[in-house]
Amino acid sequence: MHPTVLITGANRGIGFEIARQLGRLGWRTLLAGRDAEKLNAAAQALAAEGYAAEPLLLDVADPGSIAAAAREVLQRGLTVDALVNNAAILLKEDTALVTNPAEVLEKTLRTNVLGVREVVHHFLPLLKNGACIVNLSSGGGSMSDPVGGWSPAYCVSKSALNALTRQLAYELAGRQIAVNAVCPGWVRTGMGGARAPRSVEKGAETPVWLVAEAPRRLSGRFFRDKREIEW
């Protein structure tokens, strides 16, 4: 039986490429997202390449949608071997913490941090012991690198996601569930833009490694290019 991975924000960009690379390795993918049409198209594209992929409606900013998606997976009789929290937002109006409306930070945190917590909460009963959780973070969330001055609400959310990753790793250690964060680098996606120096294939490489190859004893850590980096 194929191991199963659930990937949020999987209809395009890094999430879709993670699904493709894991499909190549024999994984069954649940493509989670909030747009049914785009999800169906992504699943069909992967199926055309010979990979097992199924769409799953899930809006990470809506706890009710997350709960409904977990019930749907349960009804399908599936358990989950890996969870990749890839979905995130970076708002165009995210230019300054002090002068921007508070809603910019609130909306960003709701999706990029609280949404991850809700997905883990609702899918935890479906995660196998010895599974893994991979959270897509950013160098912008680093507490050791200099502040870059770009998209500060997004960067704050990724710092919070890194902290969430460490706490989840501690709480889930008893079930041998590895929880790690990944900085994929600046990648040519809809979010990263055409000028980004990295390919989507490179951006997906480390999440795929953590899911399919890395030992589960690696947990509560931050990775870039398959190497641990400072928080």
Residue 146 CB neighbours (<10 A): 6
Average pLDDT of the chain?
Answer: 94
**Banded pLDDT at 191 (limits 50, 70, 90):** low
Top-confidence residue, 148 or 36: 36
**Catalytic machinery residues:** 154
Q: Which pTM was predicted?
A: 0.95
**pLDDT of 192 higher than 70:** no
Within the chain, strands assigned E span 4-8, 28-33, 53-57, 80-85, 127-136, 178-182, 222-224, 227-228
CATH number at 4-228: 3.40.50.720
**pLDDT of 181 higher than 70:** yes
**pLDDT of 24 higher than 70:** yes
Top-confidence residue, 172 or 147: 172
